[in-house]
Structure 1
Amino acid sequence: MTVTSRTPLQSDLEQLPHLLQLALQESQDFLQALPEQAAHPGLSIPTPEPLSETGLGAEAALSRFIQRYRHTLSGSAGARYLGFVVGGSTPAALMGDWLVGAYDQNLSNETTGATAVEREALGWLRTLFGLSDAHKGSFVSGATMSNFVGLAIGRQWVAHQKGINAALEGLQGLNVQILSGAAHSSVFKAASMLGIGRKQIRQVALLPDREAVDISALETALQQMKGEPCIVVANSGTVNTVDFDDLNLIVALKERYNFFLHVDAAFGGFAACSPRHQHLVDGLNDADSITIDAHKWLNVPYDSAMQFTRHQFLQAEVFQNAGAAYLGTVTENPDFNHLTPENSRRFRALPAWMTLAAYGKQGYQEIIERNVESARNLGEKLGKTTPFELLAPVRLNVVCFTLKNASSMQDIQAFLHLLHQTGEVFMTPTVYQGRAAIRAAFSNWRTQDEDVERVFQALVQTAEKQNH
């Protein structure tokens, strides 16, 4: 009689409760060490190994990962990771994300209640951002994909204005112009992917010493369109200085000029959560499409963002799965698989639903206001310290500054290299008004006053070390 040995997969199924407990323990170990973990690790990447012929089994695979790669992971979930604009994961969001993997739902159509969770979460987010029910939304993978979807809808709108259905007929003869003051790099990427072309983005003059568009210059650019439809991309929170275009004045221009208004509010849109700052996004409700990120200030795990639009019928024209009966037909309330580039969509809405349900409006108001105060606190300290120079007012949650003696990006990079070696903080370089600079972005729910003080001391000590 032949005895068939169990495969690693069969053994792991029998040991699944034990394996999940191991994952829980590793998660706890990582998160408990996070307050003192290096914000930016000194990387020592192991040499790739060949794939196992028979498989290690899940427990051995976890051990191998911890041994070989755990030390290379950053503290990006922690309080002093100020690079890019990265939130962490609130406890409720993390809990939701664990369940996403366990539930493993297919959100392509209405065959699961997971789609109802997504619609409810989107309704809560509309309330949070002060949007009306006219704005329909969906979850996508990040702000880049949200901008892509918004500009795809805008492209279809421009095409309709010219009597063309670009989704059916293609782009032959269709010229789409995009006007923007300080468009994010993802807008250029989206223009490239959509066949609009990066060169079709016209940069409109900014206000002096600002990243906000000059409304007079925008009106001049619209006049030069001579009635041709176009897309205007406005900013609610630029990456360097969190500057805001005046949405009310831009919306007023729609009475005289023919354009589709897309607002990139990836993280600045969260100003709506705070009575202190919500004036910055006045007019957001009048946008034709909106980008808002979730793995920034909503503090849910990567990868997650939302897109909203007043023109869901155009969105469905672009993204519908025509001719695939098993995916359903486009109705007045389309399934999500007719609204985004992805047919295969993970249950991204659950972490958002969980954290919104857990902490509500007041919870997010507190996070936003505390992060803004942290940024202002650091900005005030740096403004009074000899080695540093603020390059712009701290308008919301980003501090844009430089070293007074820095003459090039090389000097900034050298400083950041020394700073990151301390493990205390991680920041990213930028260029602002022609000057090499540094950005410190506060968007993590964990960050407290004591973290700001540690960051400041690390900056000062690094500057002293560099000067000596």
Structure 2
Amino acid sequence: MHPLLQHDKQQQKDILNHAVQLAQVYLEQQESFPPGRNIPDLVLEDMPEKGTSAVQALEYFKQHYASQITNSAGPRYFGFVTGGSTPAAVAGDWLVSAYDQNACGSNDSIAPQVERQTIHFFKQLFGLDEIYFGSFVTGATVSNQIGLTLGRQWIGEQQGKDIAVEGAYSISPIKVFSATPHSSILKSMAILGLGKNSLVRIDTLPDREAIDIAALERELKAAQQPVLVVANAGTVNTVDFDDLEAIGKLKSKYIFWLHVDAAFGGFAALSSRYAHLMRGINFADSITIDAHKWLNVPYDAAMQFTRHKKTQLKVFQNSAAYLGDPEKSPDYFHYTPENSRRWRALPSWFTLKAYGREGHREIVERNCDVAYSLGEKLKASAEFTLLAPVRMNVVCFTLKHAGITFDDIRAYLNAVRDDGRVFFTPTLYKGIPAIRAAISNWQTEEADGQLAFDVLTEVYQAIRHTFATTSVHIQTI
């Protein structure tokens, strides 16, 4: 064994203590550490011939990199839809690395059994029928990709073709119907060879991002062949929900695969205030839900669910003889894209076990309360325009000035970022350059929402001269 490896093996406890100390410094600064920053490109170094030891590597990291980490896991990072990591989830994730299990086998380790237990928790959490099969994947993009892959296989079977064996070229082109699909849907369509141009955008309800059911039915009737329908359980701009129950009932009249993208909106099921939005979820053939968003576990962790386990096996079965019969040994490498799988279920198990349904319900409802309060402040302000009702945890708004461009919004948000107290990301809402505040961190409190509004106002007042001065006539909510 190399002397440095031998040394570090003997010093493992000391190495872990150094890592804990470094992590603790970061965690203790989460109230003041900048949630967004602009880091210059790194000057790349040459690969060292000789190493220095793990402790020395930690020290180098501490001196050169640690102070430049973005506090995206903190309470005032409102960009994208980003959670943090609860204390229990962090503990679970550290153990994932220490145990280094390949969570694919059924009985050779407790790891895949814990994944099955965690999936069972989630099915109860989201009110899913017991028939659903689920597994952990890297994120919502891969989960959406799996859902569309299964839908593609199913449509092939409607035409008497096995796409997993014969290929997608053996069937006629597949159409995907959706009103406001997330960008990962289009990415998945490109990867799968469905083609982005196969998306048929269905009209939304007036002043909504939710699908117009009548318009969807017209398109289904005109299709005259099986299609994929992607429904939203929480759009990223306004957390709008398609009527899942109404869409599901159309399956009695038309032949289509229903995929529900509930990446973060699925957590509406935890609260009696919002659970009605998930009504009809059990009509879904496949479902995406993300854990590293509103469950607040470390990246990467999402789940995919389907009512069609046998279809999933046809697509993902690993044919290596030494892996055995999947019916006798239902290992995850027969049902997911990966043959080697990180034990990414463990942080979710830890946080669900530590805080239960009640604890995670409190996070959801508190985040939604902060979002609603921020929305009310923006609605009443002279500087901002609320573009959509605050339905749950996302606030969509813009500057109340004529001629505002997307570049103006970016410049404004760069100034907000450089202030160092809060962070937001830009978006487009129905063609309007806008700002999205996504509040999904377990630590975020009302005071953080108030500070966010104060920073938005202060920065606007400081740079307003760079924008046009005529008020824009955008309908307020």
**Deviations 1:108-135 (CA, angstroms, capped at 9, x unpaired):** 2122111110000000000000001111
- Residue pair 2:205, 2:211 contacting (<8 A) in 1 also: yes
Task: Output the CA distance in 1 between the equivalents of 2:235 and 2:324.
Answer: 39
1:377 aligns with 2:373: yes
The question of 1:119 aligning with 2:116 is answered: yes
For the residue of structure 2 that corresponds to 1:172, the secondary structure is: helix
- Partners of 1:333 and 1:212 lie apart in 2 by 41
More deviation in 107-116 or 428-437? 107-116
| Matches for 1:270-309 after TM superposition, within 5 Å | 270-309=267-306
Please state how far the C-alpha of 1:327 moved relative to its aligned partner: 2.3
| 2:175 aligns with one of 177, 180, 183 | 177
Report Cα offsets for 1:242-298 as digits up to 9, x if no partner: 100000110111010000100000000000000110001100122110000000001
Runs of 4+ off more than 3 Å: none
For 1:207, which of 191, 205, 230 is the aligned residue? 205
Unpaired runs of at least 5, structure 1: none
Residue 239 of structure 1 aligns with which residue? 236
Contact 2:163 2:170 in 1 (8 A): no
Match of 1:46 in 2: 42
**1:408-457 Cα distance to aligned partner (Å, 9 max, x none):** 11110111011001111111000001100000001000001111111111
Q: TM-score under structure 2 normalisation?
A: 0.95
> In 2, distance between residues paired with 1:368 and 1:340?
29
Matching residue of 2:326: 330
- Give the counterpart letter for 1:182 in structure 2: T
- Number of corresponding residues: 462
SS in 2 for 1:34: coil
Partner of 2:246: 249
Deviates further, 404-413 or 130-139: 404-413
Question: Does residue 128 of structure 1 match 2:125?
Answer: yes
- Greater alpha carbon shift after TM alignment, 105-114 vs 90-99: 105-114
Deviation at 1:232, TM superposition (A): 0.4
Fraction of identical pairs, as percent: 51
Asked whether the equivalents of residues 425 and 435 of structure 2 are also in contact (C-alpha less than 8 Å), the reply is yes
Q: What letter is aligned with 2:180?
A: A
CA distance in 1, matches of 2:328, 2:155: 22
Alignment partner, residue 435 of structure 2: 438
Query: Match for 1:34 among 14, 30, 34?
Result: 30
Question: Aligned partners of 1:186 and 1:308: how far apart in 2?
Answer: 17
Match of 1:429 among 426, 429, 436: 426
- Deviating more after overlay: 168-177 vs 312-321: 168-177
Q: CA deviation at 1:42?
A: 3.7
Q: What is aligned with 2:214?
A: 216
Q: Contact 1:109 / 1:328 at 8 angstroms: preserved in 2? A: no
Shift of 1:7: 2.3
Distance 1:41 1:10 in 2: 39
Measured in 2, the distance between the counterparts of 1:428 and 1:88 equals 17
TM-score, normalised with respect to structure 1: 0.97
CA distance in 2 between partners of 1:354 and 1:120 (Å): 11
Structure 2 unaligned regions, length at least 5: 466-477
1:321 to 314, 318, 321: 318
Encode CA deviations 1:28-65: one digit per residue, 9 max, x unaligned. 11100111100112414431111110112111111111
Judge conservation of contact 1:424–1:458 (CA < 8 Å) in 2: yes
Cα offsets for 1:133-154 (capped at 9, x unmatched): 1111000000000001111111
Q: Note if contact 1:41-1:71 (Cα within 8 Å) is conserved in structure 2.
A: no
Contact kept, 8 Å, 1:182 with 1:211, in 2: the verdict is yes
1:143 aligned residue: 140
1:356-404, Cα deviation, whole Å (9 max, x unpaired):
0001110111000000001001000111111100000001100000001
Contact 1:46 1:69 in 2 (8 A): no
Is contact 1:84–1:441 with CA below 8 Å preserved after alignment? yes
Q: How far is 1:107 from its partner?
A: 1.3
Deviation at 1:6, TM superposition (A): 5.7
Distance 1:198 1:169 in 2: 22
2:392 match: secondary structure: coil
Taking the aligned partners of 1:329 and 1:69, their CA distance within structure 2 comes to 48
Counterpart amino acid of residue 264 in structure 2: F
Q: Secondary structure at the match of 1:219?
A: helix
Structure 1 residue 172: Cα displacement: 1.7
Deviations for 1:151-181, whole angstroms, at most 9, x for unmatched residues? 1111111001000000011112322111101
- 1:450 alignment partner AA: A
> Could you say which residue in structure 1 is the equivalent of 2:62?
66
Q: Who is 1:267 aligned against?
A: 264
1:255 aligned partner, one-letter code: S
CA distance in 2, matches of 1:154, 1:272: 25
Which residue does 1:165 correspond to in 2? Answer: 162
Amino acid at match of 2:283: D
CA distance in 1, matches of 2:198, 2:170: 14
Q: How does 1:336-355 map to 2 (within 5 A)?
A: 336-355=332-351
Q: Secondary structure of 1:261's match?
A: strand
